[in-house]
Chain A
Amino acid sequence: MAYLLTLVTFVPLVGAILVLLLPRRQEHVTKLVTLGTTLVTFVISLPVYFRFDPTSADYQFVEQRAWIPSLGVSYHVGVDGISVLLVLLTTFLMPLVLLSSWTSVESRWKEFAITMLLLETGMLGVFVALDLFLFYVFWEAMLIPMYLIIGIWGGPNRVYAAVKFILYTLAGSLLMLVAILFVYFQHGLATNTYTFDLPVLVRFVIPGGLTQDLLFLAFAVAFAIKVPMFPFHTWLPDAHVEAPTAGSVILAGVLLKMGTYGFLRFCLPLFPQASMTWAPWIFALSVIGIIYGAWVSTVQPDIKKLVAYSSVSHLGFVVLGLFTLTPQGMVGGIIQMVNHGLSTGALFLMVGMIYERRHTRLIADFGGLWKVIPAFSVLFLIVCLSSLGLPGLNGFVGEFLILLGTFQVHRLAAVLATSGIIFAAVYLLWMYQRVCFGEVTHEANRRLVDLTPREWAVLLPVLLFIVWIGVYPTTFTTMTEPSVQALITQVQTKAQATSALLMPRP
């Protein structure tokens, strides 16, 4: 099983090479090979779930071999309770996304397939990498496929959105590169072992104060842009609105999670002291993001833009939960990452389906869809309810845990954040009411076709998990709890050690 994660990560790459060799005219074969590759990847990734030992906080399925020995760079991969669900989320969403693009991507399917498969390798690599160099390679390499997906297969304003997306994220991550190098040399000078290995580096106590603050900020800005947190969110609406459905789903479902994952995996354990110092600021930005995102969503005339801004709000909850450093808050944050991937992913999928039929996404162009396409409307309602946190569906679990955790450390933040759930109900239900209820106001909408079998196949798996997590979240929370507990202990002991370094000697 030592090669399992490597296999999961690189099977899509092999698939991409395979698709590259297929002749362009065989479009149908290309589609099947691509879908097949992602399905195979999903099946291979299942043992990561079933053989995962939920009682252990250690990295599992670890594989480590030297890559650039003179620099201390190694190919080191592994998953723990924090990343395992995200790996599965990625492999789970990919086949669905490709199935949803079956007809909506009209030109250059072959290139589309190659780009999507390369993207999958990049995303999985980010979640399994346990070496800072390796992580950074995947983190940056993955930008290019997403850039191409937005820029080639996107909407009318796609080039602007694509360039904005890549420049924003690149600028942030380049500063993180300098910080990575700084940590590397600090550790090297102090211990005389030069390594980028994350498990080794997190044991190293970086002196507190200005140095650690600056390093924390360099990492935090890179991740905050990716999440995106207010005020770094302005690239997101553009990217989401212009991206094709597949791009939006992956962007919301997986890419944004890299930011929150980065906070968990790197910021907290590497810079515990600074994380605690800056936590109030992060709380403030998260709460602003939650309320601001919700308010801006409310007034959007475009459904896709509404969903895009709702991501700012929902991810505010995630970051809030992670920085509480309480078991409830952090487990809630991790579960909410998965939830957001499922719910918002499904919302984007459904917006894409309706766009494919009507070539518009303006709320004003719809109305009374319940009478014309009832199946679509029912599923759309369930997805909306899951996104706004109705008990019994997945969104409630995550948000409840997060608020529970936040209440223990910062009551005001918890109270303000709770209002975000109410606002979520406002913008989603109001949008739903205008789209699905009432009379059919546009003649063009009378001829709409209800969900096709392919679309059912795309949505049902997502709905299954939406209900599963809502009813019995223990299946998933138990996997993360030991790792979260270990992380909290580690952060607190390290923060104390850092403070001890700062204390004047008696």
Chain B
Amino acid sequence: MRHWPPAASLSLRLKTNTLPFIARKAITSLVLPLLVVATVTATWLFSASDERRISIYSTVANYSLPVVERDGHDYVGLLELLEPLGSVSATTLGTRWRLRYNDVEAEFSAGENRARVHAGNVHLAANFLLENGRGLVPLASLGSLLPPILGGPVSLHEASRRLFIGSVAVHFTAQVGGSNPQSLVMNFTAPVNPTIATEPGKLQMVFTHEPLVAPGSPSLTFQSDVIPSANYEEENGAAQITVAGRTPLFASFSNNGKTITISPAPQPGRTANLQAAGQPGAQPAAPAPAQAAPVSLAPPVQANAAQPTAAIASPTQSSYFAVLDASHGGAERGAALTDELAEKDVTLAYARRIRLELGALGLNALVLRDGDNTITLDQRASQANAAHAAIYVAVHATSDGRGVRLYTALLPSSAPNNGPFLDWSTAQSAFLPRSQAAVASVQAELQKQQLPVLVMAAPLRPLNNIVGPAIAVEVAPPASGVADINSFNYQQLVARSVASGLIAARTQIEVPR
């Protein structure tokens, strides 16, 4: 939080005794009050925009609440804190505030640092405050106040404002493995979905919604030239792991979001195998770069956007023939295909199946979302561009119609490109002919299997942000109905046709960028 100095501490080095009367009068009667008002206004404006929060993790819900400061102490609204956890109500009787949580009653008095909970008393770190019927308790007292109310243990990380209710903590291990290149494998005890950002020399993962706790030592060192260390820290309701790297790093998810593998991003001339965990297939012979790759401008900045853009700017060879993007995921379920079947699950199953089919034919593929985690469209585009694969395939599913729909990007109205920098919204434009060639090839393979195929352009992100051939495959149900859309036979039929089509178009799509 930024603090502005109080008016009294400002040193106006004026020789007031030499000022004429009118100037002294102006300073004393006009300027100083103005200064006070301006300072107070500025302080309020700036402090309000820099909100502090506490994160609460429980088996019922993970959420965060604003923290307010009163008389030098941090306070939090007790009713708001308990509301997501159970049945809670409060009544105000003069200066007394009565709270009922499930079957537990508690009573607080404004201006007193003692509360009665159930049959016992709890000492508060600072006085209880009652503001417009809202009961505020000191944040520092939550560790002692909540157990008798909730009937179970809580753990408060006061400095970082993180509250753990019950046994909800997520632990992790980290170890460097593999060779050429080495990668850091982090295994978590529950699925995680951090915000990831990269900058030269490090990769940062911020865990806002996960009750991640520190390992034995917050500083981890590894016997690796590529990834020498990692550091864990907590701040303002979030945990953060910073991984130091001597080359640009790239994070991929697997094991349903429980494993994060951090590897060096593809580099020019590197022949390393960046195969994802558990991914079959051999290393393809990558084409030699004959010219500099065009550079795509970064997407509009978003606070939570992980943008591993380091590799975008470099012409490179790739370990992957294809990037398979299982659309949707995490909180974003996509279409509800049936009462039980969400689009996000079907797209993941098809992406993995296509990877298997490509692997069986000797080609590596990266499944961009290899777990149930949320990835923004900009993140998908950035990661796909960083992988420098020969083709990007977005996988969608629908309950409407029959067969398979194939799409290329419908480019929007755009800003002009600026030298080697491409407009983000139309980065695909130079690659459309190759994308269309890939679609035609896949269409031919699907039609060989007597599957109905519809081909068209579509305003479907992130196709237009991909710097390379890019298509989308929307799987519609087979003739037997939507219940069979995820059946093994239909998956294999569609996936094998798509893989065969991509391979048949390889000479057309796999040209130097």
Asked if A pairs with B, the answer is: no
